[in-house]
Amino acid sequence: MTHTHKTQVCIIGSGPSGLLLAQLLAQAGIDTIVLDRQDRSYIEGRIRAGVLEQGTVTALEEAGVADRLHAEGLSHSGFDLAFDGTRHRIDLAGLTGKSVMVYGQTEVTKDLFDARTAQGQTFFFNVEDVVPTDLKSDQPSVRFRQNGEDHVITCDYIAGCDGFRGVSRAAIPADVLRTFERVYPFGWLGILVEKPPVSDELIYANHARGFALASMRSETRSRYYIQCDVDDKLADWSDGRFWEEFATRLGPDTAANLQTGASFEKSIAPLRSFVAEPMRYGNLFLAGDAAHIVPPTGAKGLNLAVADIRLLSRALIAHYREGSDHHLGAYSETVLRRVWKVERFSWQLSTLMHQFPENSPFEKKMQRAEFDYIASSEAASKAIAENYVGLPLE
């Protein structure tokens, strides 16, 4: 027997993209079903970046999930770039009039789950064999299995919010889909530690031994990263080895304030730039990591996903409220223009701040000259600042 369900928008993926879309549509009275191949506790356990642009904060306010963010988030009006121990502050507030909010993506996800759960809205977790079909028809559907039983959801639209390894992007025919990719020759080793941050603002450091980032989750919890080999194993990195390497890369002046301790989370992530075009096929719309990946330098992954969702929710709301499909028609093109600009910034900051094994001495000099230029030019610093706080939605 197949269980049948009907909704207006079927959302595949219950990460930040899918959850935020569901919430914004719920506020507009649009019915959604959200399904995920994992369950809530697994999704909430994923540790990701923690810097929110103002536009992201606005979207979370519009979704009605910003109370805890305002109570617990840390507003940052600047951050540091460092090269071989020399620090240059990017004064976000002075250069752009804006700041960013430091608040973990894990917390954003929790807040979104709490809101949807409190409203009693429909989720299907632990689903298998998800297949979006009839994408070109005006009644597309999503088939899946759960606990050994078959289900089919018919809907008006499918939102593919199922991340980089999801099924939605793969449902677009190969002769329509184009992908663009760059894989970086290193990874990030990250730790969480219950110690106050080494500095009250973030520090992105390029050192001859590789990149390091000092970030935080609160005034008592730090999130630190170092560039590592893509093939490194966690077992290669004891806490002791991490601290020694991290302190070296920050330089002695900064490291003098470093409080070390036992890490309670440690993971290695690869770095990738990736874009899929188009982000619409028939009545399937892609958003977030399903369509694009940025390397974490600059913390744009979540912010970019939220910008997609803001535009997609507006387009769907215009369809249901005003009967206007103009924004749905423009979605892919509008979103991709912004996506590419954010890809450019994430790639540029990654290229500036890491040690690339293939770099010649000339390229190393170019990196250093670029840093010296940024440190001496307000215009160059401002270009970084306006990207860091977030480009306009359109």
Q: Which stretch binds ligand APR (CB under 6 A): 16-24, 74-82, 232-240, 263-271?
A: 16-24
Among 289, 307, 345, 367, binds ligand APR (CB under 6 A): 289
* Residue type (1 letter), 249: R
Q: Would you count residue 299 as binding ligand PHB (CB under 6 A)?
A: yes
DSSP letter at 126 equals S
The CA-based angle 23-26-29, given to 5 degrees, is: 160
Asked if residue 327 binds ligand APR (CB under 6 A), the reply is no
Contacts (CB under 6 A) with ligand APR, residues 171-230: none
List, in order, residues 6 or more apart from 82 with CB less than 8 Å away. Answer: 88, 203, 204, 205, 206, 250, 251, 254
Handedness of CA 120, 5, 129, 317 (dihedral sign): negative
Least separation in angstroms between CB 79 and ligand PHB: 8
Annotated catalytic residue 140: no
Nearest to 287 by CA among 29, 25, 101: 25
146, containing H or E segment? strand 141-146
Q: 126: phi > 0 → left, psi -120 to 50 → alpha, else beta; which?
A: left
Q: How far is residue 65's CA from residue 372's CA, in Å, rounded to a whole number?
A: 41
Q: Of 33, 51, 59, 74, which one interacts with ligand PHB (CB under 6 A)?
A: 51
Contact flags string 245-264 toward ligand APR, x per CB under 6 A: --------------------
- Asked if 140 interacts with ligand APR (CB under 6 A), we say no
Annotation says 76 is catalytic: yes
Residue 206 lies near ligand PHB (rule: CB under 6 A): no
Angle between helices 105-118 and 16-27 (to 10 degrees): 40
Closer residue to ligand PHB (CB): 14 or 215: 215
Pick from 7, 10, 11, 15 the residue near ligand APR by CB under 6 A: 15
Smallest separation (angstroms) from ligand PHB to the CB of 384: 12
Q: Are 196 and 241 in contact (CB under 8 A)?
A: no
12 binds, among ligand APR, ligand PHB, none (CB under 5 to 8 A by kind): ligand APR
Site membership for ligand APR, residue 12 (CB under 6 A): yes
Rule CB under 6 A: is residue 116 a binding residue for ligand PHB? Answer: no
3-state secondary structure of 191: strand
151 catalytic per annotation: no
Phi, psi torsion values for 349, nearest 5 degrees: -70, -35
Report in angstroms how near the CB of residue 377 gets to ligand APR at its nearest: 30
Sheet holding 51-52, edge to edge: 51-52, 100-102, 74-76
49 scored as a contact of ligand PHB (CB under 6 A): yes
Query: Under 8 Å CB-to-CB from 70, ≥6 apart: which residues?
Result: none
Q: Is 167 in the site for ligand APR (CB under 6 A)?
A: yes
Q: How far is the CB of 341 from ligand APR (least distance, A)?
A: 17
Catalytic residue status for 295: no
Q: Active-site residues: which are they?
A: 76, 204, 296, 300, 388
The site for ligand APR (CB under 6 A) is made up of: 12-18, 35-38, 43, 48, 105, 127, 130, 161-163, 165-167, 288-290, 301-302, 305
The site for ligand PHB (CB under 6 A) is made up of: 49-51, 202, 213, 215, 223, 296-299
